[in-house]
Amino acid sequence: MIARYKYRIYPNHIQITKLNQLFGCCRYVWNQSLAYCNQLYANGDKKPTYTDLIKQFITYDATLCV
């Protein structure tokens, strides 16, 4: 038997703003990772590993903060 739980949250306005910002960041990271993987695939390279993606974002994040 598989147990299932269902949760619902009722955030206030500040929490809604923070959640929207968090989901926007997650969407941005996903889209950038997908674009990077598609670029490698188009060039005929192998699929990047998790470590490769992390390295890509560390260098990309450093350019954003400057």
Cβ 50 vs Cβ 37: under 8 Å: no
pTM assigned to the model: 0.69
What residue segments make up the domains of the chain, in order of their start?
Answer: 13-65
What pLDDT does residue 62 have? 55
Average pLDDT over residues 1-21: 93
What pLDDT does residue 12 have? 98
Confidence of residue 66 (pLDDT cuts 50, 70, 90): very low
Instruction: List all residues 6 or more positions away from 37 whose beta carbon is below 8 Å from its beta carbon.
Output: 47, 48
pLDDT tens digits for 13-58? 999 999 999 998 889 889 988 999 999 999 999 989 999 888 888 7
